[in-house]
Amino acid sequence: MNLVQIALKSIRQRALASSLTALGVALGVMLMVCVLVVFGILRRSFTQNSIGYHLVVGPKGSDLQLVLSSVYRIGAPIENIPYKLYEEIQDDPRVAVAVPICMGDFTEEGGFPIIATNRKYFEVPYQPGRTPRDPGKSFRVRGPFVDGAKAFDAVIGSFVASKNGWDLGDQFQLVHGGADTDTSHVHDEKFTVTGVLAPTGTPNDKTVFVMLEGFYAVAGHDMPLAEALQMNHDYFGQETLEGDWEFDPEERVGLGERLRRVDAETARLDRARAEREQATGAERKAITEEMDRIKLAREVELERFYRDITAKTSELESLRSEAARIGGEESPTAEQKARLDEIDKRVARLERAVKTPHAIMHNPPVWMKEVTAVFVRMQQPEGQPGIAEALSIGYAAEMKTGLQAQAVNPVVPMQRLQTQFVGNVELVLFWMTILIVIVSGVGIFVSIYNSMADRRREIAVMRALGARRGTVFTIILLEAVLLCATGGVVGVLLGHVLVLIAAPFVAAASGLLIDPFAFETAELYVVPGLVLLASLIGIVPGLTAYRTDVAEALAE
């Protein structure tokens, strides 16, 4: 019989007390494991390796809000940026992939966020490789979406599919602004599920994706003309055109004609862009330069349109107020009546002119569209690691000085959140669980220490049988170690069982997706740590055993 067997016997002798104290340790360890696993998942989702893009471009504002809303789908997005800015990004030679997304709508059932994007979204790995050779993890889509998408097609995340019970062929409508806001309303257009994503363990599982074409075609998703023009002017008109041209209000070109010119330039631009896809080297460069010229030309037309329509609109307003003033007179003079007639004619003409663009804009033109954010992967020449990162830093800096947008490395705000907030919460929780484990360790101490009085005689008998002081000390120490270690192992198992059971509930409640089989390396230290704790706990009762006066204890 070895000492471990002897210690185990004594533990079994006091089975109830022993199992209760071990259970205390197990529960403490269970909590600790949960904290470790959950925060491990959080921490990992904040690293570069969990986001397949170098930059997220969105309107200026909080970088954290931009990343949380676009990548993690938590909270509302800041605002929108013009679609043309997405085109700028896409056309930049440093950019490898640019994926536009539009947000703001939700599903009626389950309130899942809806992201409008294009097929490229699913071609970029949602988790990039850790090494140049590692291809990372790519989306797997089931359904006809794989072969092509129509405007009103949709792809749903795995969690959406299981939660809403949706599958291929099911139809749904978008709810603007979420179900519970007072401005919310259900859009009439129906989208059809043509793809279901395999689980990814990312917020994508809880997202519904629709095609941008369909999204823009939904009534109410196009901007009011004035707003679109204003945004276009703010982003592009002022800066790109400064000094290069003059607006001549006398030019006899109608608003409709201007718009047709803009559309023509857009068409040219699209053709050039398609051409550029095929071109390489010098030809590609030439096309890029040509594209810049076209953009400038289009910008000039747009800006002229903007100024013209702004002038007309404000004239319209002042005429109307003048008419109202005259109309309010008790007895208008003949002069005033003549003026009223004049105003009426002018107003009628202006109204016709201003209406023209509305009439010809059923399908919103590029400059009237917006996106919420653009995900960007930079070019990464083979064999030159770090280039993409360097490019992304330069690109972000450029964007900071210009325009009204920002380009954010999604890791940066998330890591800030991690170190400033989440990390501290983890630390506090972690130390709390350590404290719980120590307290349950004290329980083991009390249990063993209390048993020592009853066991004086047993110890004396062992000594009489020839056991050394050191041997009885070791037996008591082993009891503490065995109890703690058993509690620890059971606790680790319980912790994972709890994570396994809780994962779907946590996912449903918090949007945090938890891999139920996630394992933290820190857990490897739990059992050795407990053995250390147990050794400390066992010392005092062990010493009591060590010091037992055999003759005296035998005489009792």
Partner 1 sequence: MHIDCNKASAGLHTAFTTHRHDPTPAVSLDLIDVRKSYREPNGHQLPVLRIDEFHLKQGEQVALVGESGGGKTTLLNCVAGIDRPDSGKVVVDGVQVNALGEVPRDRFRAERIGMVFQTFNLLPAFSAYENVLLGMSFSGRGVDKARAVDLLGLVGLGHRLSHRPGQLSVGEQQRVAVARALANQPVVMLADEPTASVDTANQETVLDLIRTACTEREITLLLVTHSRQVADQFPRVERLSEFNKPEALA
Taking CB under 8 A as the rule, does residue 64 contact partner 1? no
The single-letter DSSP state of residue 167 is -
| Cα–Cα dist 146/158, whole Å | 16
Near partner 1 by CB under 8 A, which window of 8-16, 59-67, 147-155, 262-270? 8-16
Largest CA distance in the chain: 134
Taking CB under 8 A as the rule, does residue 13 contact partner 1? yes
Instruction: Give the phi and the psi of residue 128 in degrees, each rounded to 5.
Output: -70, 160
Tell me the closest approach of the beta carbon of residue 1 to partner 1, in angstroms. Answer: 5
Q: What is the DSSP string of 310-362?
A: HHHHHHHHHHHHHHHHHHT-SS--HHHHHHHHHHHHHHHHHHHHHHHHHHH-S
Near partner 1 by CB under 8 A, which window of 2-10, 44-52, 113-121, 367-375? 2-10
Taking CB under 8 A as the rule, does residue 555 contact partner 1? yes
Tokens of 144: 């006809």
| Cα–Cα dist 538/544, whole Å | 10
Tell me the closest approach of the beta carbon of residue 471 to partner 1, in angstroms. Answer: 7
Tell me the closest approach of the beta carbon of residue 535 to partner 1, in angstroms. Answer: 22
Taking CB under 8 A as the rule, does residue 458 contact partner 1? yes
Taking CB under 8 A as the rule, does residue 468 contact partner 1? yes
Tell me the closest approach of the beta carbon of residue 9 to partner 1, in angstroms. Answer: 4
Tell me the closest approach of the beta carbon of residue 489 to partner 1, in angstroms. Answer: 23
Which residue, among 445, 475, 481, 480, has the nearest Cα to 459 in the 3D structure?
A: 475
Q: What CA–CA distances, in Å, run from 420 to 89, 200, 262?
A: 32, 27, 48
Q: Which of residues 143-182 bind partner 1 (CB under 8 A)?
A: none
Tell me the closest approach of the beta carbon of residue 474 to partner 1, in angstroms. Answer: 12
Taking CB under 8 A as the rule, does residue 16 contact partner 1? no
Q: Which is nearer to partner 1, 10 or 80 (CB)?
A: 10
Q: What CA–CA distances, in Å, run from 513 to 158, 247, 272, 499, 504?
A: 11, 55, 43, 11, 8
Tell me the closest approach of the beta carbon of residue 26 to partner 1, in angstroms. Answer: 23
Taking CB under 8 A as the rule, does residue 363 contact partner 1? no
Tell me the closest approach of the beta carbon of residue 468 to partner 1, in angstroms. Answer: 5
Which residue, among 537, 490, 435, has the nearest Cα to 22 in the 3D structure?
A: 490
Taking CB under 8 A as the rule, does residue 94 contact partner 1? no
Taking CB under 8 A as the rule, does residue 554 contact partner 1? yes
Which residue, among 172, 173, 195, 196, has the nearest Cα to 185 in the 3D structure?
A: 173
Which residues, 6 or more positions from 274, have their beta carbon under 8 angstroms from its beta carbon? Answer: none
Tell me the closest approach of the beta carbon of residue 495 to partner 1, in angstroms. Answer: 31
Chosen residue from 288, 380, 471, 535 binding partner 1 by CB under 8 A: 471
Which residues, 6 or more positions from 341, have their beta carbon under 8 angstroms from its beta carbon? Answer: none
Taking CB under 8 A as the rule, does residue 478 contact partner 1? no
Near partner 1 by CB under 8 A, which window of 143-151, 215-223, 461-469, 519-527? 461-469
Cα of 194 vs its chain's centroid, Å: 24
Chosen residue from 10, 70, 266, 544 binding partner 1 by CB under 8 A: 10
Tell me the closest approach of the beta carbon of residue 440 to partner 1, in angstroms. Answer: 24
Helices (H), 218-254: 225-232, 238-240
Amino acid of residue 328: G
Chosen residue from 140, 260, 320, 469 binding partner 1 by CB under 8 A: 469
Taking CB under 8 A as the rule, does residue 12 contact partner 1? yes
Tell me the closest approach of the beta carbon of residue 10 to partner 1, in angstroms. Answer: 6
Taking CB under 8 A as the rule, does residue 6 contact partner 1? yes
Tell me the closest approach of the beta carbon of residue 453 to partner 1, in angstroms. Answer: 15
| Cα–Cα dist 72/512, whole Å | 9
Tell me the closest approach of the beta carbon of residue 555 to partner 1, in angstroms. Answer: 7
What H or E segment, with its residue span, contains residue 85? helix 83-91
Taking CB under 8 A as the rule, does residue 345 contact partner 1? no
Taking CB under 8 A as the rule, does residue 466 contact partner 1? yes
Tokens of 336: 């005033």
Taking CB under 8 A as the rule, does residue 465 contact partner 1? yes
Taking CB under 8 A as the rule, does residue 462 contact partner 1? yes
Number of residues located near partner 1, criterion CB under 8 A: 24
Residue carrying structure tokens 């995900």: 375
Which residue, among 253, 448, 455, 263, has the nearest Cα to 362 in the 3D structure?
A: 263
Chosen residue from 366, 467, 478, 533 binding partner 1 by CB under 8 A: 467
Q: Which of residues 38-57 bind partner 1 (CB under 8 A)?
A: none
Instruction: Give the phi and the psi of residue 218 in degrees, each rounded to 5.
Output: -70, 130
Amino acid of residue 231: M
Taking CB under 8 A as the rule, does residue 453 contact partner 1? no
Q: Which is nearer to partner 1, 347 or 553 (CB)?
A: 553
Amino acid of residue 390: A
Taking CB under 8 A as the rule, does residue 461 contact partner 1? yes
Do strands 370-371 and 373-378 pair parallel, antiparallel, or not at all (unpaired)?
Answer: unpaired
3-state secondary structure at position 478: helix
Chosen residue from 463, 474, 481, 488 binding partner 1 by CB under 8 A: 463
Taking CB under 8 A as the rule, does residue 450 contact partner 1? no
Cα separation of the two ends of the chain:
27
**Residue numbers of the site for partner 1 (CB under 8 A)?**
1-2, 6, 9-10, 12-13, 457-458, 461-471, 550-551, 554-555
